[in-house]
Structure 1
């Protein structure tokens, strides 16, 4: 039977989950009383020390899962030429840093999210292959953000390519605003895991947040309606027919909507997560 799990991208900003006075270092433990999976995005901005991962492993229950984003220098977000030697060292450092999660059996996948300008070219296909080879010991997911990968002439070839390198295709829901966005492609390329990410549908803020606005605060400012989520139930049912596990992540964090939408969607799918941390209110119940 396919396991479906729902969570959000990052736990620090999910303010509605935390009572007043909860310390930052305790937030993951509280988060893990609500959801069974989470995406680690702080690893995208820095190579984190192992002690961070060790702490997160201790703060979460046995069956909790982490989807970890590799450093931006590994996915081409840092424009300009990077010496191959320094890139290899970056991969080595990242791999070393995540070992506590790996050894605990809590790594769901490494999420290689490539930038919007990373288009479908031979050079980029070769680079994705090289990333896969470097991380061949770990579950590996790929999120493309340039529309060319899923144009009619390339879409099936893209999916076949991901199957060949044993990578999970990340299914996205996001605004359709040109080349820097991808359509919904509900396909399974690795039967062990299907991964879905909800980015919101804020068309106006996706490319141009406006003068003086932080792009991240604007881009992901969106609350999914029940009707919009209902459209996705059928997609998830199709994915679960082909995958052993389906992980669903909400990234519409800017206005505190991700956790609420994640809980709403869990209910619509009839999910009742087990093996979570005890809720604070339950600790004192009789």
Structure 2
């Protein structure tokens, strides 16, 4: 089964009912998509009250792909706000516990930075991640090409299988070492994650450390029908029981519309029974 969603639920006006309040965004979102990528966990480990609120606002079959806290994947700069690495991982696991209990946690997404290359030291970092989150399903996303080089690609995928990591397959611009190729290969029989970042090569090359607006251009992309058809064909061939597809190309507000078109092309149900639906193409209630 292919399950489709977006990164976050707070910035997709196409999926909100005109009569809804600002606090109803997640409820409206859950009427269109079965999964969402929870990005707020990257910036801070979330308090239990937030987690339980989000659980209560979503359908029983809804799933949160929870992004690992930045201190867990090497993005955090400066001193971590925790006494130890062990405490950080322990608090993160406690935070997502209610989602796991509710059956709404299909996976944790551990996205590593562009400078996290394929070295023995970094393989050790991944082993430690697996130890800390041993009882959770974890998807690993690389952003350095070396992991998929001719020399290391097979070893990378075999290692992910050995460690029971879910492979995060990425569609993104091919813009040097800081981008990875599209490799639609499963490392687990039950789950694979696919993240669609768009194909804005110029935006992808923008320097995130120097340009404050780099995020606004990095994911600025509108997939055309031929691209979505190609992706649908590749994704349908991934040998996992469930494939989770997340659109992250929302700098220009294209993600929701692209996801709906993809679902139509792939023959996936685009309306959830019992929920108020909006036609993303005409803006009228269905």
Same fold (TM over 0.5): yes
State the partner residue of 1:205: 203
Please name the residue that 1:247 is paired with.
244
Question: Which residue of the other structure, out of 176, 187, 193, is the alignment partner of 2:174?
Answer: 176
Provide the rounded CA distance (Å) in 1 between the counterparts of 2:10 and 2:229. 28
Q: Is the Cα–Cα contact under 8 Å of residues 29 and 277 in structure 1 kept in the other structure?
A: no
CA contact (8 A) 1:6 1:35 kept: yes
Match of 2:263 among 262, 266, 270: 266
> Are the counterparts in 2 of residues 48 and 97 from structure 1 also a CA contact under 8 Å?
yes
Shift of 1:276: 5.6
Indicate the residue corresponding to 2:213 in structure 1.
Answer: 214
- Between the aligned partners of 1:277 and 1:45, the Cα distance in structure 2 is 34
User: RMSD over aligned Cα, in angstroms?
Assistant: 2.1
Contact 1:61 1:277 in 2 (8 A): no
Quote the residue 2:90 is aligned against. Answer: 92
Work out whether residues 137 and 165 of structure 2, in 8 Å CA contact, stay in contact via their aligned partners in 1. Answer: yes
For the 8 Å contact 2:143–2:178, the answer to whether it is kept is: yes
Cα deviation digits, residues 179-233 of structure 1 (max 9, x gap): 0000001100011101100001111111226986511111111100111111112
Instruction: Check whether the contact 1:233–1:269 (CA below 8 A) recurs between aligned residues.
Output: yes
Q: Is it true that 1:232 corresponds to 2:235 in the alignment?
A: no
CA distance in 1, matches of 2:137, 2:99: 13
Specify the alignment match of 2:194 in structure 1: 196
Aligned to 1:278: 275
| Alignment length (residue pairs) | 278
- Asked if 2 retains the 8 angstrom alpha-carbon contact of 1:36 and 1:273, the reply is no
Within 5 A, what are the aligned runs for 1:36-115? 36-79=34-77, 86-115=84-113
Partner of 1:120: 118
The answer as to whether partners of 1:34 and 1:276 remain within 8 angstroms in 2 is no
Give the structure 1 partner of residue 138 of structure 2. 140
Q: By how many angstroms is 1:6 displaced?
A: 0.6
In structure 2, C-alpha distance between the alignment counterparts of 1:81 and 1:173, rounded to whole Å: 33
Per the TM alignment, residue 22 of structure 1 is displaced from its structure 2 partner at its CA by: 3.2
CA distance in 1, matches of 2:212, 2:160: 36
2:17–2:28 Cα contact (<8 Å) kept: no
- State how far apart, in whole Å, the 2-side matches of 1:274 and 1:147 are: 37
Select which of 1, 12, 15 maps to 2:13.
15
* 2:32–2:271 contact (8 Å) kept in structure 1: no
- Please say if residues 5 and 36 of structure 1, whose CA atoms lie closer than 8 Å, have aligned partners that are also in contact: yes
Three-state SS of the structure 1 residue aligned to 2:193 is: strand
- Give secondary structure in 2 for the equivalent of 1:221: coil
Relative to the length of structure 1, the TM-score reads 0.92
**Bigger Cα displacement from structure 2, 200-209 vs 128-137:** 200-209
Structure 1 residue 84, shift from structure 2 partner: 9.7
CA distance in 2, matches of 1:212, 1:193: 36
CA contact (8 A) 1:167 1:189 kept: yes
